[in-house]
Amino acid sequence: MLIMHQWNLQEYCEIEANSIDQIYNIINAYNEQWDMPKKISGGEFRAFYRGQSDAIWQIEPSIVRSDINERDQYLKYQSKLQGKSLFDQLAYLQHYETGTRLIDFTTDPKVALYFACVDNKERDAALYLYNYVSHKAEWIDTIIFTEIMLMPNDRTIKLGEFAEELYDKYEIFHERFESISELSAFMIAYLNHGYMVLPNEDSSKSNLRMARQKGTFFICGVKFANAVPSYMRTSMRAAANELICHSVNVPDSLKNKRPLVKIIIKREYKEKILERLEKEGITREYLFPEGII
């Protein structure tokens, strides 16, 4: 564990905190060292937060802890998903129905602190700090992952073939990409890593729970049949890579690697932190306005 003057929050580290004020100081230092938030090409570079009530747990989506098949589950709840955007469909499944390849984060550290402290009172908790240039909910990435989710079980497919299917089905891909090879190179840049996605204004309005929790999602990527070296990521070669459709790949950056920072919250401080959060308006009733489901 590190003490105050040893913090280098641009590398992975674990810091033990014994008060909410110390936690806030760490968060402020994290944002200062990374110079966040700031606008950069492609979006906003900023911090995201995740609270886990047991510090031993790994960061991973719920689907990897179960035998749920994402395609079957998506089709099962189709009647409840009608009329929703692709992002809202994924958000609904994550919050109300079943496990997905999504990992919940928030842009509000108080919300993450609540989830870190509210359960497993006999265990130490963890508050994770993570930074990313987030994607927009309405962007084509969501379409890509939804189409992967809807593929037949256990299917593998060449990236070029998948790009061609997308090209044939959605006009938006014609507007954004000039060729199958260009689209393949775009997808290989993040498909096995995944990405962080922010809800748009319409999504926040339609999902009060997500709005109050200031929720965001990290959508985990997929695995490839073979390793993808740098020379296989070019527009000339990207199409030849073969992806495993219903696999889930949690990126190394969420496995105790840079830019992740883990704050350990000792179990004896959980109640005090919850009392402080209650005074600041962060309660179960506020975060779950429609009740716990």
Q: Note whether residue 281 is domain-resident.
A: no
The helix/strand count (H/E) of the chain reads as 13, 11
Q: Note whether residue 134 is domain-resident.
A: yes
Mean per-residue pLDDT, 112-128: 97
Distances (CA, A) of 106 to 83, 99, 177: 25, 18, 32
Q: What is the pLDDT of residue 98?
A: 66
CA–CA dist 293, 16 (Å, integer)? 32
Mean per-residue pLDDT, 178-203: 87
Looking at the structure of the chain, the number of domains it has is 1
Dihedrals φ, ψ of 222, to 5°?
-120, 160
CA–CA dist 251, 248 (Å, integer)? 10
Alpha helix positions (H), the chain: 20-33, 70-76, 78-81, 86-92, 109-117, 140-149, 159-169, 171-176, 180-188, 201-206, 208-212, 270-279, 284-287
Q: Note whether residue 287 is domain-resident.
A: no
Q: Mean pLDDT across the chain, nearest whole number?
A: 87
Contact yes or no for 15/5 (Cβ under 8 A): no
Q: What is the pLDDT of residue 84?
A: 67
Asked if the model's pLDDT at residue 259 lies above 70, the reply is: yes
Contact yes or no for 90/102 (Cβ under 8 A): yes
User: What percentage of residues in the chain have a pLDDT greater than 70?
Assistant: 90
Q: What is the pLDDT of residue 97?
A: 67
Q: Note whether residue 276 is domain-resident.
A: no
Q: Note whether residue 279 is domain-resident.
A: no
Contact yes or no for 43/135 (Cβ under 8 A): yes
Contact yes or no for 110/131 (Cβ under 8 A): no
Contact yes or no for 198/219 (Cβ under 8 A): no
Nearest alpha-carbon partner for 265 in 110, 57, 117: 117
Q: Note whether residue 144 is domain-resident.
A: yes
Least confident of 127-141, 182-196, 277-291: 127-141
CA–CA dist 170, 7 (Å, integer)? 48
The neighbour count for residue 135, using CB atoms within 10 Å, is: 19
Q: Note whether residue 198 is domain-resident.
A: yes
**Digit-coded pLDDT (tens) for 57-98:** 999 998 887 777 777 777 787 777 666 666 677 777 776 666
Q: What is the pLDDT of residue 292?
A: 54
Written as six digits, the tokens of 277 are 């959060």
Q: Note whether residue 22 is domain-resident.
A: yes
Domain containing 214 equals: 4-269
